[in-house]
């Protein structure tokens, strides 16, 4: 399965009064890392949207386990990987580490989504074979 790694320094504004990363900021990091993961698979988000006339891949479920804090100035590594690709949805695992210490592990489920031409509403649709192949490479 395709994977990608990002290294980043924790910024002051990402921390709560206790000096540790405010939990909702991890969701923002994971969203950004998912976009980078698409590119690592050879399909930048803008290209997927254009070539397949989708609106995107919204997050429909997330689960995170917070094991150890990350603090201002820490340099963390975020490993993201596709772990399951289905007919119209896929799962991405994110692991935030500080050295050898696991800080956060999350599993996100996203859905390949297009606009229904009749209703204009969003609907899940089948992930194209070339995307499945790229995500699972």
As annotated, the active-site residues are 16
The residue range of the domain holding 117 is 3-136
User: How many other CB atoms are found less than 10 A from the CB of residue 47?
Assistant: 12
Structure tokens at 111: 């859905």
Contact 127, 88 (CB under 8 A): yes
Contact 111, 124 (CB under 8 A): yes
Q: What pLDDT does residue 1 have?
A: 86
First to last CA, the chain: 5
Judged on CB neighbours under 10 Å (0-12, 13-18, 19+), 72 is middle
Q: What pLDDT does residue 130 have?
A: 96
Q: What does pLDDT average to in each consecutive run of 10 residues of the chain (137 residues)?
A: 96 96 96 97 97 96 97 98 98 98 98 94 96 96
Q: Quick one: which of 58, 29, 61, 60 has its CA closest to 45?
A: 58
- CATH number of the CATH domain containing 50: 3.10.129.10
Domain count for the chain: 1
């Amino acid at each position: 399965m395709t994977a990608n790694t990002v290294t980043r320094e924790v910024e002051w504004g990402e921390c709560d009064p206790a000096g540790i990363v405010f939990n909702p900021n991890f969701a923002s990091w994971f969203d950004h890392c998912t976009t980078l993961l698409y590119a690592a698979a050879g399909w930048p988000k803008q290209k997927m949207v254009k070539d397949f006339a989708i609106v995107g891949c919204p997050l429909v479920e997330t689960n995170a386990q917070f094991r150890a804090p990350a603090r201002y100035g820490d340099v963390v590594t975020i490993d993201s990987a596709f772990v399951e690709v289905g007919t119209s949805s896929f799962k991405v695992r994110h692991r935030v580490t500080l050295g050898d210490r696991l800080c956060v592990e999350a599993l996100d489920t996203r859905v390949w989504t297009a606009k229904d031409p009749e209703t204009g509403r969003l609907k899940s649709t089948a992930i194209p074979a070339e995307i499945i192949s790229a995500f699972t490479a």
